[in-house]
Structure 1
Amino acid sequence: MTANGIPGQPRPDLTAGGAVRVDERTIPGPAGELELTVLTPAAGSGPWPLLHYIHGGGIVAGTRHSALSEMVPYVAGGSAVVASIEYRLAPEHPHPAPVEDCYAGLCWAAENADLLRIDPGHIIAIGFSGGGNLAAGVALLARDRGFPALSHQILGCPMLDDRLRTHSAQMLDREGLWDRNENLWAWTALLGDRRGTDDVSPYAAPARAENLAGLPRTFIDVGSVEGFRDEAIDYAQRLSQAGVNVDLHVWGGGFHGFDIGISQPAISQASRAVRDEFIRRALER
């Protein structure tokens, strides 16, 4: 697998023609050193908000450069710093390794705000698919451990529930669309024999969290032809009932990952525009 997480594809240019400075850093983690890619505006002095980006891949695949180019416009435009962590992957590193690595990267960034030229009071966790799972898990950890304070969490087609009991979790049986078989494999890789039992932490499967109060403002989007549809809708509803400000978008006809790296279909353009508008407002607050 290459550095951007896609076999046979080179690492994308993240510099945006010189508008973005790319730093590869090594930071301490819970079980050794971790790699962190930091994207900083080349012009200006900050402090900027931080987008704590967590790559997707079902927590079993990908690297810190996977789809990282999606975050470049916010840095090139001088609106944010982006930090992307190289977390350990299942099954070689089951829970809690992935989420603890992501939390360690978040804490390091907040603790080194002056070095990164970020505003430690304006940190947004963002992730898609398996990265959405980890972004939600990190938000729970940050709340429960009291550091750092997140202003927002942005969860794209998030992988939230290991129990696979919903209609949407069972409705797809087609290779190439992240169907129920791939989903079962990924959750089992992360949790082993604990998957589906009562012995699963909410930091591994955020849908398990009983108390969602005190979490940051949340954006969730998901497709209607998507295994994660029902759990995403349920999580958004429970967040709202817990007093969290939630933006939920369910895109009719959207399959898993329909709007990541796909720019031509009208539904992809619409969903990307809505998410982009939310991110830009979140960065301005």
Structure 2
Amino acid sequence: MRNPSHPVHPELRSSVRWAFRISFNRFLISLIRRLSILIRPRSTEGVTIENVWIPGPPGAPNVRVRKYEPPQRAPGSAALLWIHGGGYVIGKPEQSDAICGRFAKELGIQVLAVDYRLAPEHPFPAPLEDCYAALSWMHAHAGELKINPDRLAIGGDSAGGGLAAALAQLTRDRKQIKPIFQLLLYPMLDDRTTTRADHKGTGEYVWTPDSNVFGWTSYLAQAPGGPTAPKYAVPARTEDLTGLPPAWVGTGTLDLFYEENVEYARRLQAVGVPCELDEVPGAFHAFEVLAGDAVVSRDFIARQVSALKRALAV
């Protein structure tokens, strides 16, 4: 049931009819993947888009990255690796063309979006290692890309936000690359949310508790919420969050991930990692995509741009 203390934001009520309550399963994700060919690339005026194939993780296939190049970008600019959402089971970079193009154009940075492998066919660690391969390639080819390897940010939405958080932890421990910022939009961080009986009115729209069970089961290749999980698979389970890049965490109060997002931000702050928590009252999962023309959505996106601008000093 909807939480009466957090009703749907007035500007989002008309979009609720599009916020279907669907339980994901193998048949449905297969259908969605087939229909994804209908996604039309959304170009941003002045931004050129190019698909580039890069070496994948050792023993794995090459990885496609989608590169967004703004007009007249200054050599040695900052860059962003973007990771799309989709519950670890669906999605592709093209769905992020609008936001990636906006980041590139407004900030004058290069953006690369990674087409990582999807579960359940490719469970952890394949998606995360694909993301690491993309970030490593950006770092190693900084001269060719005309970007500054010391000014790399990572970000993503939903499962992409979860992968970005895990990537921040992985890069910290591998000590080869040091991203300077992580932009986490309603990130999918904690498989233990699947074990909660009371979701306090969250998860009614778009990404539901049932879908969450399916997504985590597919990604972990085991039942979620158990006593243990593979290291780096579940960012919220990592005990030591010290030394991670500064973060921005954005979430709506009706999002299924609301509590795990707030708790992760609190834990970052508690260990001295600068973290801005942006809570949107009455907003559900991916609200700014379904209601892109609403003022609350435009403001939410503008705050993401501002957060990146401050972090990257552009």
TM-score, structure 1 as length reference: 0.91
Deviation at 1:226, TM superposition (A): 1.1
Instruction: Provide the rounded CA distance (Å) in 1 between the counterparts of 2:247 and 2:109.
Output: 18
**166, 185, 188: which one pairs with 1:156?**
185
Asked if the contact 2:202/2:253 (under 8 Å) is kept, the reply is no
1:214-225 correspondence to structure 2 within 5 Å: 214-225=243-254
Instruction: Provide the rounded CA distance (Å) in 1 between the counterparts of 2:51 and 2:81.
Output: 15
Which stretches in structure 2 are left out of the alignment for 5+ residues?
Answer: 1-29
Q: Quick check: 1:29 aligned with 2:56?
A: yes
Structure 1 residues 50 and 66: alpha-carbon distance in aligned structure 2, compared to 1, 3 A threshold: same
Instruction: Provide the rounded CA distance (Å) in 2 between the counterparts of 1:180 and 1:200.
Output: 19
Amino acid at match of 2:77: W
The equivalent residue for 2:93 is 64
Q: Secondary structure, in 3 states, of the residue corresponding to 1:259?
A: helix
Alignment coverage as a number of residue pairs:
282
**259, 265, 274: which one pairs with 1:230?**
259
**218, 223, 239: which one pairs with 1:210?**
239
Q: Which runs of 4+ in 1 moved over 6 A?
A: 1-6
The equivalent residue for 1:132 is 161
If asked which structure has higher relative contact order (CA below 8 Å, sep 6+), I would say 2
Structure 1 residues 273 and 161: alpha-carbon distance in aligned structure 2, compared to 1, 3 A threshold: same
Structure 1 residues 94 and 133: alpha-carbon distance in aligned structure 2, compared to 1, 3 A threshold: same
Amino acid at match of 1:143: R
Structure 1 residues 147 and 177: alpha-carbon distance in aligned structure 2, compared to 1, 3 A threshold: same
| CA RMSD of superposed structures (Å) | 2.3
Between structures 1 and 2, the one with greater helix share:
2
Q: Quick check: 1:114 aligned with 2:143?
A: yes
Deviation at 1:172, TM superposition (A): 4.6
**96, 105, 123: which one pairs with 2:134?**
105
Which stretches in structure 1 are left out of the alignment for 5+ residues?
Answer: none
Instruction: Provide the rounded CA distance (Å) in 2 between the counterparts of 1:126 and 1:4.
Output: 23
Structure 1 residues 139 and 264: alpha-carbon distance in aligned structure 2, compared to 1, 3 A threshold: same
Amino acid at match of 1:272: I
Instruction: Provide the rounded CA distance (Å) in 2 between the counterparts of 1:22 and 1:9.
Output: 18
TM-score, structure 2 as length reference: 0.83
The share of aligned pairs that are identical, in percent, is 34
Deviation at 1:257, TM superposition (A): 0.6
Instruction: Provide the rounded CA distance (Å) in 2 between the counterparts of 1:23 and 1:66.
Output: 15
